[in-house]
Amino acid sequence: MYQRDYILRMIEQITYVVATKVFQLKQMKKYEDALAAMGELFTRLSLPSSNAIRNMSARQIADMMSVSGILPVEKVKAAAELIEEEGSIRELMEEPETAAAAYAKALQLHLLAYAEDDEDKGAERIDRLLDKLTYRNLPYESGLPIVRYYERTGQFSRAEDVLFLTWNEYPSEELLAGGLNMYERLLLKPDSELEAGGLPRGEVLDGRTQLQQLANEWDQAK
C-alpha cells in the first residue's frame, strides 16, 4: 500500500512538472531545455535517458519497471505519457520520424498497461495515440495488442481491420491463433452487441472463414 501511494505521489509530481515547466518551455520554443527537463523526469521513474529508451522496446522498458514480475500499471502509464510528451516536443522541432517513433512506443506501453488494468482506464490515451499514428508507423508487435484493445472496447470492426492489416504485413502463428480466438469470443456475443461494434454476425462468420483459410494455407506451407 505504501509503495503504491509513493508511486501515485511521484506521478502527480511528474504530471505537475509536465503541465507547468515543460509546457512553458514549449511555449517559449525552448525545445532543448524542455527535453532536458523531460530527462530529469525519466530519472525519477528510474528509467535511462530518452536516447537509451529510444533503442529499447516497450517490453524492455516495462520489464525494467516491473517488480518481482509484476507490472506497475500506473508507473508504466506515466512512462508512456512522458514518452508521448517527448514525441510532441520532437514534432514541434520538425522531427516527424522521431516523434512518430516516440508515439508508437508510448502506445505500446499504454497497451501493455491496459491489458493488465481491470478498470479499463487509459482508453482515451490509446485512442489519441492511434489517431496520431498511421498503421505503418507501428512495429509488428503492436498488431495483436491493438486487435485485443479494440475487441475489449467493443470496436469489433476496427479489431478485424487491424487483424488483417497486420497479417498482410507480419503474418505469424500467434496472430492466427489470436484472431481465431477473437472470432470464437465474438460469436458468443448477442447480435445487438456485434452490430453496435460494427461487425454483424454474418461478417464475423465470414472473417473467421477467411482467417481459417489463411491458417490452413500457413500449415500447408510449413
Tell me the per-residue pLDDT of 141-178, one tens digit each, with 9 for 90 and over.
789 999 999 999 999 999 999 999 999 988 999 999 99
Grid cell listed for 38: 523531460
Residue 169 Rama label (left phi>0; alpha psi -120 to 50; beta): alpha
pLDDT of residue 180 exceeding 90, the answer is yes
pLDDT number for residue 116: 87
Q: Is 46 left (phi over 0), alpha (psi -120 to 50) or beta?
A: left
Q: Where are the domains of the chain?
A: 1-130, 139-222
Phi and psi based region of residue 14 (left: phi greater than 0; alpha: psi -120 to 50; beta: remaining): alpha
Taking alpha carbons only, the member of 138, 7, 14 closest to residue 82 is: 14
pLDDT score recorded for residue 5 = 64
Look over the chain and give the mean of its residue pLDDT values, rounded to a whole number: 90
Q: Answer yes or no: is pLDDT of 8 > 80.
A: no
